[in-house]
Amino acid sequence: MTSVPKRYRLLLLAMGAACSGHAGAQSSVTLYGRLNTALEYSYANTATDGARLGGVGRLTNNRSVFGMRGEEGLGGSLKAIWQIESNVSLDTGQGQIAGRNSRIGLQGSAGTLFMGHWQTPYTEATSTYDPYYPTTAGYMALIGNGSTSSSDNVQDTSAFDRRQKNIIVYKTPSLAGFSGAAAWGINEEKTTVPRNPGLYSFSAAYDNGPLNVVLAYEIHQHYQTANRNDDAMKAGVSYKFPTTTVALLYERLHYRTATGDLTRNGYYASVVQKLGPGSVRVGFGLASNGAGNATETVGFFRSGAETGATQVTVGYDYPLSKRTALYAYYSRINNKRNAIYDFAINELGVSAGADPQTVALGMRHFF
Q: Looking at residue 59, which CATH number applies to its domain?
A: 2.40.160.10
Amino acid identity of residue 308, one-letter, is: G
Number of structural domains (the chain) is 1
Cβ contacts of 310 within 8 Å, gap of 6 or more? 142, 284, 285, 286, 287, 333, 334
How far apart, in whole angstroms, are the C-alpha atoms of residue 284 and residue 56?
A: 24
**pLDDT at position 12 over 50:** no
pTM: 0.90
Does residue 28 belong to any structural domain of this protein?
no
**pLDDT at position 13 over 60:** no
How far apart, in whole angstroms, are the C-alpha atoms of residue 172 and residue 52?
A: 50
**24-73 tens-digit pLDDT:** 447 899 999 999 999 999 998 867 766 666 788 999 999 899 999 999 99
Does residue 11 belong to any structural domain of this protein?
no
Is residue 298 within 8 A of residue 145, CB to CB? The reply is: yes
**pLDDT at position 132 over 90:** yes
Does residue 35 belong to any structural domain of this protein?
no
Does residue 7 belong to any structural domain of this protein?
no
Does residue 268 belong to any structural domain of this protein?
yes
Cβ contacts of 38 within 8 Å, gap of 6 or more? 59, 60, 62, 135, 136, 327, 360, 361, 362, 363
**278-294 tens-digit pLDDT:** 999 999 999 999 999 99
Does residue 19 belong to any structural domain of this protein?
no
Burial profile 55-87: b = 16 or more Cβ within 10 angstroms, e = fewer: eeeeebbbbbbbbbbbbbeeeeeebbbbbbbbb
Q: What is the pLDDT of residue 50?
A: 65
* 3-state SS class at 3: coil
Q: By residue range, what is the domain housing residue 126? A: 40-366
Question: Distance from CA of residue 114 to its chain's centroid?
Answer: 19
Does residue 30 belong to any structural domain of this protein?
no
Mean pLDDT of the chain: 92
Does residue 31 belong to any structural domain of this protein?
no
Biggest CA pair distance of the chain = 80
